[in-house]
Structure 1
Amino acid sequence: MSRTFSYRRKEVVQGNPAVEEFKARWPALFHIDGINAEFQRITTIPLETTFMARLDSYTPLLTSVFAKKGGVSGQNLAKHLEILQKATSDANCKREAVLKTLCLYLGEDPGQLIREYMDIEGDDILRDMQRNSMAVYVINKEGGEPWNFDDIGIYLEGVIILDNIGSVEQACALLLGVIYALNLSYPKELKYYYEFIQKVLMQMEGGKLSARVLGLKNKICVL
C-alpha cells in the first residue's frame, strides 16, 4: 500500500470515486490497520494513539468547562456529564461521553456523529444509513447491557466500510482517518466538532479558528 500511495492519492483527489467503487479497487485500505497507515502517510501523525492520548489529556479540562455551562445548554449536557463523572474506571465509556458532550457544547447533535440502532430494526438501519452521508454506527442488542454492543462500525454513502470496531471512540478516530484517506469534506452538521478535533485535539493545520471553537480552546487553556 505504501508503494501505491501516490497513485491512490491522485485517484482520490482528482477522480472523486464513489466509495463502493474505491473499496472494490483498494480493499486493503478498508481495514483498521489500513486506515491508520494511510492517515499517517498523509499527515505523518499516528492516528489512534494520538487521538486517544490527547482526548484523555483534555478530558479533565473539557469536563470542567462543560460543567460550568448554564441554561438550557447546561441541562442538555447534564446526562453526559453524569456519565463522565461516574465512569472513573471505564475509559471507553468516558471517552464516548466526552465526545458526545463536545458535540452538544459546540451546538451540534451527537446523533450525527454516532447513530445508535437496535438489532431488531433490520431494513430500517439500512434506510437510515442511506439518508446520512457518514457516521459511526452502533448496534445494540435488545435487552443487552449498556455499552455491550453487537457491532460498532463506520458507514459512508450508505455503504458499511468498517465493522467490528472495538469501541465507539476508536470508531470516531477511524472516521477521521477515513475522511482524510478519501479526501472528504467534513459533514456540515458537525463542522465545529471536526474543527476542534483537527485543529485543537490533533493539532493539525491550526490556522484561524471559528469563534465557537476558539472560545472553547481559550477556556481549556486557562484552566
Structure 2
Amino acid sequence: MPVAICQISELPPQRAVLHIKWKGHSAYEDHLDLSQSLGSISSLDTASLSSSKGASPATSPSPLPTSTRNVRSASEWPSPFPIPALSLDVEQKLRKGNEAYEKTKKSIDVTRDIKTDILDKIAHAAFDIKAYPERTLSHFPEHPNQQDDSSLEQQRKLLVDASKTAKIDEKFVRETMEITFSLRRREIVDDKPMVIEVQDRWPALFFKEQIDAEFFRITNKMLLRTFRAAVDNYTPKLLRLYRARNAAFGKAMDDVMAKLDDETSDILRHRKDAALRGLPVFLREDPTELFKECLETDADDVALQGVAVGILYVLEDCGPGTSTRVQNIAIILEERVVLEDIPDTPTALAYLFGFLYALNISYPKALKYTFDTLQNVFMEIGPKCTQRVRSLKNKLAL
C-alpha cells in the first residue's frame, strides 16, 4: 500500500511508493514550496537506501530561456510515474548497495550527491510533462480558485493604486502580485506589450523585491541568491582564465584587467566586477553592447538612445585627467531606465536577467553567448547550451 513520507530515512525496508508533497502559503516566501506538485513517484526499490538526515528539498527545473519561448510538451502524466535513469555513478552505487543489503541486511548511507542526482532527475522528468490540462495554458498557470479575468483585473487596479502611495504596503503588494500572476503572465506572453505598457499596468513588477519574486514564480529559482552564489564561485576561475589567455583578447580584456590591477580598496567587489565585465570579451562579444557609461552631467536621452537592453554606469564628472567614480548603476530596457540605485554589477546583471524572464524579452543577438552563460552556467537553467558556452562551462569545472 502506498506510504506518504517526508524523509528518505522513513522509507520501510521493502518496496514503497514515494510521494513528494510541498506545503506552505507562499512559494517565494519560504523558498521551498513549488507552484505545482511533482506528482506521485512510482514504486522505488529503497532496500539499500537510508540516511540519518532528511532529503534535501528539490527545486523544480526551470523553463527554457525566454529567447526560445518554447512550451512544455503535451503529454499526459503517466501513472505510475517511472523513475528516470540516473547517472552511471549513482546507478553503480545503488546496485552495489542492493547487493550488499541482500547479504548483510545493512543499508548504505545516502550522500548529498546521490540525493541530489535522484531528485534532479525526477524533477527534470516531471518538467518534461506538461503542467496544465489545456495546451493554450502550457506556458502560464491557470487563475487561482474562485478568480476570473474580471476579479483579477479589480485586484490589478488596487495594486496600481497601492504602488503609487507614499508608504508602500509591502504585504498587500506581495500577496496581490502572487494572486494576479496568471493574469499578468498571460498578458505579457500573449500580448507582448512594450515595457512602458507593462510599467503602466503593473508598476509593482518593477520593485526590486518583485523582480526577484516574479523570477521565482516563473522558474522556481531564487534570482539574487542563486546569481550571487555563482558569482562568488566563478569569479576566481574566470579571472584565472582571463589572465591565462589575456593576449588572445586584445585591448578590451587588457582594459578590464588593468582597471582591476589599479584598484587598491574593496578588492573583492572589483574582482567580481572584472569577472563579469570580462565575460562578453572572453566569449568574443562586444562588452559595450551590455555595459554602458555616461557622465552625470550628460543628457538622459543621449545615454539611453538606441539601448534596448543594457546596464548603465553613471560616472561622476570630475574633469579631464581625474579618475571617475560610479555614482549610480541603472538598468535600461527599450531606451528607458526601469531600475536604478543598484549597488554593484552582480546585482545589476541579476536584475537584468530577471527582467528578461519577467517581461518575456528575448536575449539580444549581439550578446547571445553572454546570456546563454548567465542562464546555463550561473543560474543552471535549461538542459542545452551552445558549444561555446559548453566549452567555458567545462573549463570552469576543472
- 2:219 matched to 1:53? no
Structure 1 stretch 90-99 or stretch 19-28: which is displaced more?
Answer: 90-99
How does 1:180-195 map onto structure 2 within 5 Å? 180-195=357-372
Deviation at 1:93, TM superposition (A): 1.9
Q: Distance in 1 between matches of 2:281 and 2:206?
A: 30
* Structure 2 residue corresponding to 1:8, chosen from 177, 181, 184: 184
Q: Distance in 2 between matches of 1:130 and 1:4?
A: 33
* Structure 2 residue corresponding to 1:31, chosen from 165, 186, 207: 207
Deviation at 1:147, TM superposition (A): 7.2
* Structure 2 residue corresponding to 1:153, chosen from 320, 330, 342: 330
Paired letter, 1:105: F
Q: Secondary structure at the match of 1:92?
A: helix
Query: Structure 1 unaligned runs (5+)?
Result: none
Q: Distance in 1 between matches of 2:246 and 2:344?
A: 31
CA contact (8 A) 2:317 2:324 kept: no
Deviation at 1:146, TM superposition (A): 5.7
* Structure 2 residue corresponding to 1:62, chosen from 234, 238, 252: 238
Indicate how the Cα distance of structure 1 residues 171 and 146 shifts in structure 2: closer, same or farther if over 3 A, else same: farther
Deviation at 1:218, TM superposition (A): 1.5
Deviation at 1:172, TM superposition (A): 1.1
Structure with more of its chain in helix, by fraction: 1
CA contact (8 A) 1:140 1:150 kept: yes
Aligned CA-pair RMSD: 2.0
Deviation at 1:89, TM superposition (A): 4.0
Paired letter, 2:200: A
Q: Distance in 2 between matches of 1:60 and 1:103?
A: 16
Q: Distance in 1 between matches of 2:251 and 2:212?
A: 37
TM-score (norm 2): 0.52
- 2:292 matched to 1:115? yes
Question: Could you list the per-position Cα deviations for residues 124-149 of structure 1 after superposition, in whole angstroms to 9, with x for gaps in the alignment?
Answer: x4134231211111111111886742
Paired letter, 1:194: F
Q: What is the aligned residue count?
A: 219
Q: Secondary structure at the match of 1:2?
A: helix
Deviation at 1:97, TM superposition (A): 1.0
Indicate the residue corresponding to 2:125 in structure 1: none
How does 1:132-211 map onto structure 2 within 5 Å? 132-143=307-318, 148-207=325-384, 209-211=385-387
Q: Distance in 1 between matches of 2:251 and 2:314?
A: 27
Q: Secondary structure at the match of 2:341?
A: coil
Paired letter, 1:10: R
